[in-house]
Structure 1
C-alpha cells in the first residue's frame, strides 16, 4: 500500500513543479533550443513551456486522485491502471510539446517512470499474485526452470535501463537541451563537425 501513497506524493510534487523552476522563454532559452524551434517551425518557446506546465499541474492532480482511488479495494483496479496510463503520458508529453526546458523534461521522465513502477510493477498488476509470480517452484509447461527468478529478470531490466538512458540522451540533443550527442564510434571532421549519431538524428529522414 505504500506505493499508492508514493503515487499521491508524486502527484503533489508534479503539480507543484511549475512553481519551482522558471518557465523558459525565448530570452532565457538555450541557443540550440531557439535553433530547433526555428528549424522545425515549432510553436513559440513560451507557448510550449506553458502548455507543458499546465499538463504537469493537471497530471499531478489526476495522479493524486487515482492514487487515492487505488487505496480502495473497490476502485483499486481502475486507479492502478489509470495511474500507469498517466505515467505513460508523462513520458511522451515533453516530446509532444517539444519541451524547451530540460528541467521539465527530466521531471516528467522521473515522475512518469516512478508512477508506472508504483502503480503496476511494484504492487503487481491488479489480479496477479505476488506469491505466484515469485514462487521459484512454479515452472511453466515445457520449461526446465522458472523464467521469473531474479537471475532471469536482471539482464532484461539492466538492458531496459541502458536503453532508456541512451534514448534520453538522443532526445535531449534533438530538443536542443545539450549541444553534443555522445558517439564512441563515428566521430565528426573539421569539414563536418557532426558525428555519426548527430547526422542521423538530424537528417531529413529523421525529421520526416
Structure 2
C-alpha cells in the first residue's frame, strides 16, 4: 500500500460502521460474522448431539473416550446456544478449539477402536469447517493483488495444490497412525519391506507420549483446512491466519522433513510413505512462501502509517484498486490451472541440484559405503533435495545458497573418512557441481514488491 492510500480515510479501514461513511476493518467484520449466519450454529448443535450418542452406538471400548465425547458434545451445544441466545461471536469461534480437541482425543486416550478414531476425526473436521472455514469465506471489498506484485498469492487456484497436498499427508499419516494404535495389523511399504513398520515401532516413535503419525495427521488436517479459510484477499484481511498457516507449513513442516531424513541414522531404514509425505511437505513450503511474504509486507506497510503490529496482525487492512499490483503486468485473477504454480519456477540448475541430492542419497548403496560416510551421504543428500525444492519458490530463491556449504562438505567428507578413490572422486565431482548449480539465480518470472531476497544474484 502507498502513503496516499493510507492517508485516505475511505481506504484506511478505520471506523465502526459502513453507515458512517467508513469501512469496518476486515478483522471486525469477521469477528461479528457468526451473528449473521445463525444457521451454522444449528449444524454444530446437531454434531453435539451426535457425539452424545456415539459411544453407546459405536462401541468405543474406552471409558475415557466415552466421557470425552459426552462432555465435548455438551460443550458444543452450550457454546452454540450462547452464540444464538447471547449473540456472542466469541463463543462460536471457541467451538473451533473444541473441534481441534476432537482431532487430538483419540491420540491422547489411545482409542482402542477404529470407529472411535474415525468418528472423532470426522466430527472434529466438520466442527472446524462450520465454526471457522464457512464463517471466514465472506468476500471482502478492495483490491486483491499486493502493491508491486504481478499476481495474487491467495487465489483459490494458488491454494488448490496446498489443500491437495495437505489431504494427501493427512490420509497417509492417519493410515500409519492406525497401525500404531493397533487398528490394523500390517502397514504397506513397496520399496523398503518392513521399513515402515520398523520406524513406526522404533524407540524414536515410542518416545512420543502419543502416536507421532497421529500428530502428523492432525497437523496435515489443520493445514488442509486452513487452505480453505478466507477469500482471495486473505493475505491482507487475515494476517493472523496466514501467519499461523506459514508457521505450521514452513518451520514446523521443515522439522517434520528433518525427522524423516534422519530415519536412516536413527532407525537404520527408510519409510516409503514417510518420504512421500515429506517430499509433498517441501512443495507445500515452496508454494506457501509467497503468501507469507505478501502478508509481512502488509504488516510492515500498516506499521509505517502508525498502526500497532498487534492491531494490524488481527485486523488486517484495506487496499484500493489504484494502489494494487502492477496495472500493466498483473496476471489474470481468473482461477485457471496455470495459476496454481505462479510464484514457483524450475530453473535447470535447481533440477540439477535435486538430481545431485538424490544421487548422493543412493551412493552408499551403489558404492557399498558404510558407517559415518554413508550416514553423511544420506543426510546431506536429503538436505540438498530439501533446499533445492524450497528454492523453487521465487521469493525463497536465496535458500539455494544453503547448498554451497553442503557442497563443500561433500567434497571434503570422503577425505576425512578415508573413502576409496572412486568414492572420493564421486564426492569431489558431486560437490563441485552442486556449488556451481547453487550460484546462479536464474529467471524470476514474477514481481514481489520490495521483497529483497528476489534481487540477490
Measured against the shorter chain, the TM-score band is 0.7 to 0.9
Match of 1:145 in 2: 151
Match of 1:204 in 2: 203
Max Rg structure? 2
Structure 1: state its 5+ residue gaps: 25-48, 188-194
Give 1:84 shift. Answer: 0.7
Q: In structure 2, the residue corresponding to 1:179 is in which secondary structure? A: coil
Of Structure 1 and Structure 2, which has the larger fraction of its residues in helix?
2
Match of 1:60 in 2: 73
In the alignment, is residue 132 of structure 1 matched against residue 140 of structure 2? Answer: yes
Give 1:143 shift. Answer: 2.5
1:15 pairs with one of 52, 64, 67? 52
Match of 2:166 in 1: 160
In the alignment, is residue 90 of structure 1 matched against residue 102 of structure 2? Answer: yes
CA–CA distance in structure 1, aligned partners of residues 132 and 85 of structure 2: 15
Q: In structure 2, the residue corresponding to 1:20 is in which secondary structure? A: helix
In the alignment, is residue 3 of structure 1 matched against residue 32 of structure 2? Answer: no
C-alpha RMSD over aligned residues: 1.8
Contact 2:180 2:201 (8 Å CA) reproduced: yes
CA–CA distance in structure 2, aligned partners of residues 101 and 150 of structure 1: 37
Structure 2: state its 5+ residue gaps: 1-36, 208-457
Give 1:53 shift. Answer: 0.6
**Number of residue pairs the alignment of both structures matches:** 170
Match of 2:376 in 1: none
Q: Which has the higher contact order (CA 8 A, sep 6+)?
A: 1
Contact 1:132 1:138 (8 Å CA) reproduced: no
Give 1:63 shift. Answer: 0.7
Q: TM-score, normalised by structure 1?
A: 0.76
Contact 2:60 2:115 (8 Å CA) reproduced: no
Q: TM-score, normalised by structure 2?
A: 0.36
TM-superposition CA deviations, 1:70-91 (whole Å, max 9, x none): 3368311x22221110011111
Match of 2:121 in 1: 109
TM-superposition CA deviations, 1:23-80 (whole Å, max 9, x none): 42xxxxxxxxxxxxxxxxxxxxxxxx1111100011011111122333368311x222
Match of 2:22 in 1: none
Residues 4 and 182 of structure 1, relative CA distance in 2, 3 Å threshold: farther
In the alignment, is residue 80 of structure 1 matched against residue 92 of structure 2? Answer: yes
Give 1:147 shift. Answer: 2.1
CA–CA distance in structure 1, aligned partners of residues 170 and 145 of structure 2: 31
CA–CA distance in structure 2, aligned partners of residues 14 and 139 of structure 1: 43
TM-superposition CA deviations, 1:78-125 (whole Å, max 9, x none): 22221110011111111011110111111100011111111011111x
